[in-house]
Structure 1
């Protein structure tokens, strides 16, 4: 079972390369001055809404082209598409009658990150009929190329592009290492080049997966003579912590990646390192990076080769792109994060989680109140 979202790609009648983005609402206030006073940059994404099931399965009266070609994946007659379109277009001050033909552009099934149901997205495309209709100040026309530039050259306080644009449009424009992964693998790529694969692991309930992060830029440049980097590679894997039953899946992933591979572990918990032994067998030349407090808790059965100790502020070069190690203790005393400098994306391990609160492992130095040494 999955929750369904309707996202609308509304094309500009005077410029076919542009589509409409909606300024997203900021997160609600938390009631804490330090948190609430932070001013984030504006996030722009495709207008969207939850897609409700039909109660009486009656015809909505809106014909969706190409819906039949997706019928094995989703049956739109089960959903109240007309209600969804009315809600979405109301957000941008338009009506269904303002738009020409509708086409089912894409249907994306989300990987099962958990603990709730996955969120699958129906992307409908339409074009405004009247080029003279103006959109309000919370909307803007953008091209896919402009969105990609925003994503690849992120600057502090600049506007940002949301995940619906990336999944629906941008990822089709850019060549990605994800295309080389096993076709049965479910993953998310956001921003482009940062691939998240939820792998079944021995994690804490209600979760059942740990995110395996893959970073493998297409344009590999040889700068191995640059001594300012603690490690060089053509691809990087973060936190290979899948259960034994999924080691074959991990083997397939490693086989798709370049041999000059960097392995980065945020901390030592089993749901983040249980697949290390598989990587070592598949690619004995892989380079492991970990904090020394993490490494002394990882058994020889998981990793018996050498490793590079990191403590924060070191730079890693992956395919010509720079990533920076961030020391982030609290969950454990050796927890580290990884910053993708160009897209300003932080891979945080268990220091922050998407639902609930990160636990403090007091048996491994977990502590949020005292400075870490």
Structure 2
């Protein structure tokens, strides 16, 4: 079984290019001053609600959704979910015109919980509410893109429902990866493929990050870079029975490939040997403490030891290496500067707390 959510794409009756976004509720306070004093920037996304499955025969609803009858989703209570979303953004049921089923997306397997499915329904509002709630605004794909690709400190951000539901289908970002696995591209150009790995329970996968920008403005002229490349792979740590999928991802990438590992644990490096066989010109970047723990059978080719603070250039875009010890004494993070996207390795695991590997120098005191 999976968790199902409804995301509504509500069109502006006065501007065909605009749709409605709702400001997302920030996470709860923890009662820790250092944490609670941090003010995050606003996150805006498509208004959404959980979809409930109705047992037995579902009575005909007040919302007629074109195309839904051809799917297997007919036993979900769309009427209730749509009404709740409209109420959330200050509209009523009769403010909507024709409704249309757009698509049904299954989220990639990021965590131990139930898989998440999102159903996208579009509708053109008939009444432009001049008194939108303060937590709503009209946006276009182009304005959302500008928020995504040129992030300013403390500026508003766009959530994944907009990107996965609208932007990735309407603009050419990166070349999509060659894999049958479910993956996520958020923000555009940064592709995350959860791959089965020898990770710790309750998890089953490690995120493989693929970054291969195309035809972008070169922003690497004024920096000294420790490495250059046309494509980047981060943490190839899949199990042996997924090496064929990893090979399918790596083989089409540029021969000028940079491989970055956040740390040396097997669930982050198990696929290195496949990459070096496929692309002997690739360069591996890792902290020196990680590098000395990575076996020659995993990587015996060109490598560069980094310690944090260095920059790398991938396809004309800058990424900054950040020393982030704690989980291990060689743990690194990687910041994509333009979009302020931070790849954190095992410092943020989605559920519970990351382990401190005391056999590999894991120690929170060194990260203070």
Could you say which TM-score interval applies, normalised by the shorter chain?
over 0.9
**How does 1:204-219 map onto structure 2 within 5 Å?**
204-219=200-215
Q: What is aligned with 1:86? A: 83
Q: What is aligned with 2:271? A: 275
Q: Distance in 2 between matches of 1:224 and 1:42?
A: 29
The alpha-carbon deviation at position 173 of structure 1 amounts to 2.5
**How does 1:313-352 map onto structure 2 within 5 Å?**
313-352=309-348
Q: What is aligned with 1:48? A: 48
The alpha-carbon deviation at position 205 of structure 1 amounts to 0.1
Q: Distance in 1 between matches of 2:257 and 2:56?
A: 54
The alpha-carbon deviation at position 59 of structure 1 amounts to 3.0
Q: What is aligned with 1:137? A: 134
Deviation by residue 1:45-66 (Cα, 9 ceiling, x = unmatched): 1110110001333234222112
Deviation by residue 1:99-136 (Cα, 9 ceiling, x = unmatched): 00110112111111220111110010001112355322
Moved over 4 A (4+): 220-227
Q: Does 1:203 align with 2:203?
A: no
Query: Bigger shift: 301-310 or 260-269?
Result: 301-310
Q: Distance in 1 between matches of 2:139 and 2:221?
A: 40
| Contact kept in structure 1, 2:64 and 2:99, CA below 8 Å | yes
Instruction: Report the aligned-residue RMSD.
Output: 1.7
Q: What is aligned with 1:354? A: 350
| Contact kept in structure 2, 1:217 and 1:318, CA below 8 Å | yes
Q: Distance in 2 between matches of 1:173 and 1:100?
A: 23
Q: Distance in 2 between matches of 1:371 and 1:318?
A: 28
Query: Bigger shift: 336-345 or 303-312?
Result: 303-312
Q: What secondary structure does 2:97 align onto?
A: coil
The alpha-carbon deviation at position 371 of structure 1 amounts to 5.7
Aligned length: 367
Q: What is aligned with 2:255? A: 259
Distance 1:171 1:281, change over 3 A: same
Deviation by residue 1:33-90 (Cα, 9 ceiling, x = unmatched): 1111111111111110110001333234222112245x2xxx2211001011111111
Unaligned segments of structure 1, at least 5 residues = none
TM-score normalized by structure 1? Answer: 0.95
Query: Bigger shift: 195-204 or 86-95?
Result: 86-95
The alpha-carbon deviation at position 351 of structure 1 amounts to 1.6
| Contact kept in structure 2, 1:224 and 1:232, CA below 8 Å | no
| Contact kept in structure 2, 1:60 and 1:81, CA below 8 Å | no
Q: Distance in 2 between matches of 1:116 and 1:243?
A: 21
Q: Distance in 2 between matches of 1:131 and 1:93?
A: 10
